[in-house]
Chains A and B, each alone.
Chain A
Amino acid sequence: MSVLLEATLRSVQISLITAMVSGLLGVVLAWLVSRTEFTSRKTVASLLSVPYALPPYLLGMAWVVLGNPTVGILRAFLPSNGAYGTLGICFVLSSVAFAFPYLELRAGFDRLDSSLEEAARISGASPVKVFRDISLPLLWPALVNGMCLAFLYALASFGVPAILGLPVRQFVLTTLIYSQLKLGGQAGLIEGFKISLLLLTIAACALGFSHYLTSLKNRLGASISGARSSRPSRIQLGRLAPLVMSVTWLWILLTLVLPWIALTLSALAPIAGSYSPSTFTLRNLSYVLNLADFHEALVNSAVLSVSVASLVVLLGFCLGFLSVRKKKPWASRLIRFFGIPFATPGTVLAFFIIFIFSTLARLGFNADYPLLLMAIAYTLKYAAVGANSLETAYTQIHPSLEEAARISGARTVKLLSTIWAPLLKQSMKAAWLLAFLPLATELTMSVLLTGPGSATLGTVLFQLQEYADQPSAAALAWMLLTLALVIGLMTRKKEIY
């Protein structure tokens, strides 16, 4: 079998398994926290949204520490090649991607008038039957969207299959593009182009298929978003409550706590696999902190992520105003257009940028500034995050607030600065974080676009891991994961009831 065919099949397989597992986990967890009652429910609910903010390759590295076939802490419980290979990749991706269907369905349950479900219970249906006959058909679009996002996420992922797949020579499409480009030259570029088109086609098919699945049952669309009645009556789990509680906490332990502990131990260990407290050392941490590449990466990542996140939010603020309030069709079309680079796998996006600029270079127009290319790639990829969330925010505020200011004599600039900016502050903050968090540790696009003097946190980490300097890599990964966890825990959605 050719490498390309094998990588294609593996990509599709991994994405399908991840989408299925994520969908199943998302449905069960969302239903449990939205509709049942058990001790610590609120804590579980808000902790489950934290993985969303974590760079998956950090979890991948943690699972290398836990599941290395020779020195891994948990190797006794894992199959022969430990966390490496397709299964490990699927597990690590699912431990993040389940958040897509989970969050979609949580929002769905919140919008769903709970008396629809209560009416079925009064009719004699057991909780399981209510879920099958009422909740699931009504939340079907949310589930399909969530699973489609998980599929695209797994298909586009680069870091996890690189860390857990390349050591056992298992390629997926994104890592294959990367290795083709590393070969360099015209042949690699053409090969990369072909694979990129293939990857893009699969992503488009997945989107089309999910669109078809949601349109099947869309006659109910409008009627479920009606007014919520009272707060939902929660199902008492009775004897099952302790079981549900332990299983949900086990999942949180496995996906959040254990990876952090693994990276902590590994960061403190003098060599990989030696985890006795007497030999713990801070040498790895201080080595990384004194690394020149690290200083360069810290500055680059900070500057890039802060400026691109701010740019994207500002762009969304202006475009949202033009589209929602000024009814400019070009503005809403541009916002829709941003959905394309957003759905495009980062590897493909970065590849096309390289392709365009290398073509330009051959025409005598030299623009070999890796940081600039990264800024362009980041902006294209995340423009949709700012534009979509701010467009929604504009539509949620009653136009009379603006009209009152207009009648008081405010012109556009005054209107934006004194009315809309303060009103949309919370949405802008949220959108900024949604762009900043993934960009600060971005790997997929950076690893292709990087060059001398343009290291980022993601690429430095990837290099340390690739050159098998595992203790240093673990030290850096530990710092980033700790930071991401702290930000994720601080900004997690609070549960109201």
Chain B
Amino acid sequence: MSDLILKNLSKRFGEKEVLSPFTLEVKDRSFLALLGPSGCGKTTLLRIVAGLERPSGGEIWLGSRMLFGQMPHQASGASSSTTVEVPPEDRGLGMVFQSYAVWPHMTVEENVRYPLDIQASRASKRSIDNSSKKPLTLDQRQEACEKALSLVHLLELKDRYPHQLSGGQQQRVALARGLAVEPPILLLDEPLSNLDAKLRSEMRREIREIHRKLNMTILYVTHDQREAFEMATDVVILNAGAIAQKGTPSEILKAPNPGFVTEFLSES
């Protein structure tokens, strides 16, 4: 019911075309990996979905809700339209950054509680447009926070500050924070690239587990084939701002497109 649809989306930085117009449909509750070498535009694509970058053209839809695009006026026909651009804070998504972005001045618990508290205060003000949900009570927020923390096995460390944690633990805090409000889509930007090999394989398993348990859509950016093919239900391979191939992992591995994809997959 809430598929993510990117229609004719494109992005230019000045003269440089970072993403050439493309269309992509991400099915509800799927796990889509955006795979490609550095500079192929995969992170830009993720940031556009998050609302942190403005696309140069095209539309973004989450189910029946337009997140970005030109909305034609109903009264005056197709001749005039207004630009719709939902700011990141109103999209209701979750995101995990490559640098973790765990707030150093808040404890683990405060970090994870932050999106829950904001959602509650906004819901009570009815400022969010799809606020059919009742604001969560303090107890419910506490419960949601603890649920997210136990999903990433950090419940015992909830009173610690980030500088008292290892890199892998900080990564888990970021993940719990992204999950806390159970967003329809979780965006992950190379979340494992700063971890060592052993931790990486552990986290791959856990992220897959979380996807299975929470049943949310995951958009996962990586340059690591192993991550993509091991975890995702769908893989999109990007090259120089264009989609080189998309399909399920087995489809791509069975019949990689000749040229870039074959070459890229044979590396490493």
| A interface residue numbers (CB < 8 A to B) | 113, 115-116, 118-127, 129, 133-134, 137-138, 217, 219-220, 222-224, 226-227, 229-230, 233, 236
Contacts and interface: CB of A to CB of B under 8 A. Distances in A.
A124 B122 contact: yes
B101 A113 contact: yes
Contacts, number: 94
22 contacts: A116-B101, A116-B103, A119-B97, A119-B101, A119-B174, A121-B51, A121-B52, A122-B50, A122-B93, A123-B177, A124-B90, A124-B92, A124-B122, A125-B114, A133-B114, A134-B103, A137-B105, A219-B104, A219-B163, A222-B163, A223-B162, A227-B99
Contact of A233 (B53, B99, B114, B187): B53
Given A119-B95, A122-B89, A219-B161, A230 B43 contact: yes
A118 B177 CA distance: 13
Given A219-B161, A233-B47, A236-B54, A121 B104 contact: no
B87 A124 contact: no
Interface residues of B, number: 37
Nearest to B128: A124
Contacts of A226: 99
B118 interface: yes
Taking each of B95, B97, B177, which has the highest tally of chain A beta carbons within 10 Å of its own beta carbon? B97
B183 to A, nearest CB: 9
Contact of A121 (B87, B94, B178): B87
B147 to A, nearest CB: 17
B43 to A, nearest CB: 7
B55 interface: no
A258 B205 CA distance: 65
Q: Classify the secondary structure of B's interface with A.
A: mixed
Q: Classify the secondary structure of A's interface with B.
A: helix
Interface in B68-121: 85, 87-95, 97-99, 101, 103-105, 114-115, 118-119
Interface of B: 43, 47, 50-54, 85, 87-95, 97-99, 101, 103-105, 114-115, 118-119, 122, 161-163, 174, 177-178, 181, 187
A118 B88 contact: yes
B161 A126 contact: no
Contacts of B181: 123-124
Given A116-B103, A118-B50, 18 more contacts: A115-B101, A118-B95, A119-B103, A121-B87, A121-B88, A121-B89, A122-B115, A123-B89, A123-B114, A124-B115, A124-B119, A126-B89, A137-B105, A217-B105, A233-B53, A233-B88, A236-B54, A236-B87
A415 B234 CA distance: 59
Given A220-B105, A236-B54, A115 B89 contact: no
